[in-house]
Structure 1
Amino acid sequence: MAETEPSIFSRIIAGEIPADVVFDSERIIAFRDIAPQAPVHLLVVPKTEQYRDVTELAAGDPELLAELVATAKRLADEHSDGDFRLVFNTGAGAGQTVFHVHAHVLSANGGGHSLQEGTLGQL
């Protein structure tokens, strides 16, 4: 079996690639997206490369998925008004470009601003 290259997220976790890290624990890291699609756009990433997408994570380690969602909520509370979208792209046809499970936390930055329905995911 051929070895695969580590994902960009594994390289960030290893400190090989710099990132604007906003959260770091034993099992999860979160950092700002380099191409934000909303005023607040954070990526919440398990430190294991074992799961390619959210369906694999849910089947293989539901506790880690629950921890990831709780971390997303905590970050939305800290970086905006607590209202947020949590997006998991699953598969290339759905826009997944890094096959290391991760969640996008998208939010307005508070102050009476909001994300309007239909403002994200334009074709």
Structure 2
Amino acid sequence: MADISMNQFLHAVAAFSQQVSANAEATRGWALFIETEGDDTGRVAEMIAAKRVDPDTVSETHELARIMRGLSEQAIQYAATSDTTVRLAKASHDEVMNTHHNIGEQVNASTASGIHDVSNDWLRVE
């Protein structure tokens, strides 16, 4: 088991969820950019086809537009999965806050003597 305090854990979970959320937003932004570029590439393919550019070039341009749209869709799905990860991290943070956060305050407020000298092994068993 790692040696980490409750406050360190809470900080780490909060920082993790913020970072994942920021990354998801950045991914979503790039996905929309790629989607726009894919749409533009599709329009370019139609324009060069109208100018009777050789069919292989037109076909390759259409294929590039299709690949870009697919990449955008996958990036959006990735961002949605990141949103789920953020929700789970926040739920973990909330659960810790609800169940363990006030333990230190309660120990400090206790009138029992020697409470700080209790063995960690005994606390794990109890």
Higher strand share: 1
Which of structures 1 and 2 has the bigger CA Rg? 2
TM bin, normalised by shorter chain, reads: under 0.3
Higher helix share: 2
Greater relative CO, 1 or 2 (CA 8 Å, sep 6+): 2
TM-score (normalised: structure 1) = 0.26
